[in-house]
Amino acid sequence: MTASDLAALAALFADESRAAFLLALLDGRAWTAGELARHAGVAPSTASEHLGKLVAGGVLAEERQGRHRYVRLADPGIAHLVEDLAARSEPEVPAPPRSLRAASAGAAMARGRTCYDHLAGRLGIAIADAMTERGLLRQDTGFALTDRGLAWFDEQGIALARKGRRPVARGCLDWTERRPHLAGLAGAALCRHALDARWCVRIGSERAVKVTAEGETALRTGLGIPAAALR
């Protein structure tokens, strides 16, 4: 990558509307241009122009179904970049929420959320810490599953599809907790299993998730995480 390449990539992020699109797309789903326009509070024509730049720059991938145009983050690497930038740009003293609804949404996001395809917030940190304490995950030299960790995934019936160049485990800096949570293939597989098994359910229109009673039992039994830490 040349200096001009880096500058061009940075320029794609250096717009408030495009930044709003990227943060919304961290939920891992495909959005239409109209949905993103409403989310960011911009005109559809403005959203279309911004999305064209993000697709051309390789930040977003585009899919068309009939008359609808869907976009999603191009790959997990882009998601990690967005999350890392969000963590580094978050002020040490966040501005107070403007309404009770905003305060409730912010609290839910901090408690537990998805970060593209893995779990984040206090829930994600609690899982990473519990796995480390049990010798399933190493964080001392970067994130890596131990042999016991690989066996734990098998015991839980969570398949790790080791395809492509994506690492099995990767630390992703959490923008609310300022500590890394588990990403990579293991983080994605665990998140997918948690949602499929209804350990967690999505709440609201943001990326927030809530741990269910079944999830509290599973995480206490499998990782020793007390229910109070998940609420």
pTM: 0.73
**Residue pLDDT, tens place only, 200-210:** 999 876 688 99
Question: Which residue, chain included where needed, has tokens 């051309």?
Answer: 56
Cα(123)–Cα(63) distance, integer angstroms: 32
Cα(205)–Cα(174) distance, integer angstroms: 20
Domains and CATH numbers, the chain: 3-74 (1.10.10.10), 97-230 (no CATH)
Highest mean pLDDT among 32-36, 108-112, 190-194, 207-211: 190-194
Cα(61)–Cα(164) distance, integer angstroms: 18
| In the predicted structure, residue 167 carries a pLDDT above the cut 80 | yes
Q: How far is CA 168 from CA 89, 121, 144, in A?
A: 27, 20, 7
Per-residue model confidence (pLDDT) at position 176: 83
Cα(222)–Cα(216) distance, integer angstroms: 10
Phi-psi region of 58 (alpha: psi -120 to 50; beta: other; left: phi over 0): left
Residue 134, phi then psi, degrees to nearest 5: -90, 5
Task: Determine what percent of the chain is predicted with pLDDT higher than 70.
Answer: 90
**Residue pLDDT, tens place only, 2-22:** 888 889 899 999 999 999 999
